[in-house]
Amino acid sequence: MQLIPAIDLRAGRCVRLYQGNFQAETRYDQDPLELLERYRALGASWLHVVDLDGARDGTLANRTVIGTLLAQPGIRVQVGGGIRSLERIEDLLAAGAARVVIGSTAVEQPPLVLGWLERFGTERVCLALDVRLDAQGVPQVRTRGWREAGALSLWQALERYPSGAVAHVLCTDIERDGALAGPNLELYRAALARFPELAWQASGGVRDASDLHALAHLGVAAAVSGKALLEGRMDAEELRPFLPDASFPA
């Protein structure tokens, strides 16, 4: 399993939200480029960058900062937040994004996203399905910066895509996001059981290296972590098994 550090951007600054709430924002002093360099030095080969302004209102308010990050060598970047058009995908891929992450549109317009998957390939497009568990424990998908609840479960949303059409799915348990409460292992266990062919990226709740080992044991392809890394809750040696480009001495 691979660790993918996350950088969430709002008005050009690094922030973290608590459970997707824009009113519960923590700002960090680290410059986004400095963070990229820090994670690259640790051995990260991928970075997950989210335009939170775009996720909320569909505008890429952080495009300049994202462009700077995409121009850096030695690390691949997947970009999400407000990507809802062919033109925006083409712009980000041309600027150097290795992969675009499609959230709301993947839920609302599967035929359109299927066309993007066919055009750019399954390695260049990742679906982002963000969920809250209902009273029965069923993961229900939310969209538009996690503000809008639809009528689809996670399983129903994925069943709208034919087998083989999708390779990568980023799944966030909103209740765990930014909470440092541990990842929802049962959610990802169920996801792998239902859709074992997908490369699942688990997001939300990672506290420490034990959580990374637990996710790896389940068989998820990647774990996305923001707050725990920003706050230095895991040291380089603990991260080493999950950063394939790590080159520091044994």
Instruction: Give the residue-averaged pLDDT of 207-222.
Output: 97
Residue-wise burial string across 9-28, b where 16 or more C-beta atoms lie within 10 A, e elsewhere = bbeebbbbbeebebeeeeeb
Residue 245 bears catalytic tag: no
Instruction: Give the residue-averaged pLDDT of 88-116.
Output: 96
200 in a structural domain: yes
Coil, strand or helix at 186: helix
Tens digits of per-residue pLDDT, 128-186? 999 999 989 999 998 765 565 667 999 999 999 999 999 999 999 998 887 789 999 99
Nearest alpha carbon to residue 204 among 179, 235, 239:
179
Domain limits for position 109: 2-242
Instruction: Give the residue-averaged pLDDT of 230-242.
Output: 92
156 in a structural domain: yes
Instruction: Give the residue-averaged pLDDT of 54-77.
Output: 88
Kindly tell me if the per-residue pLDDT of 246 is higher than 80.
no
144 in a structural domain: yes
176 in a structural domain: yes
Burial of 57 (0-12, 13-18, 19+ CB in 10 A): exposed
The per-residue pLDDT for 32 is: 93
The per-residue pLDDT for 178 is: 78
User: What angle in degrees, to the nearest 10, is found between the helix axes of 32-42 and 63-70?
Assistant: 30
> In the chain, how many domains are there?
1
The percentage of the chain sitting over the pLDDT mark of 70, rounded to a whole number, equals 89
Tens digits of per-residue pLDDT, 181-203? 999 999 999 999 999 999 999 99
Say which CATH number the domain at 41 has.
3.20.20.70
55 in a structural domain: yes
Residue 51 bears catalytic tag: no
The per-residue pLDDT for 30 is: 82
Kindly tell me if the per-residue pLDDT of 248 is higher than 50.
no
Tens digits of per-residue pLDDT, 8-37? 998 878 766 665 555 555 666 789 999 999
Tokens of 113: 């996203």
DSSP letter (8 states) at residue 232: T
Which of 130, 173, 177, 211 is the catalytic position? 130
Q: Cα separation of 177 and 42, whole Å?
A: 23
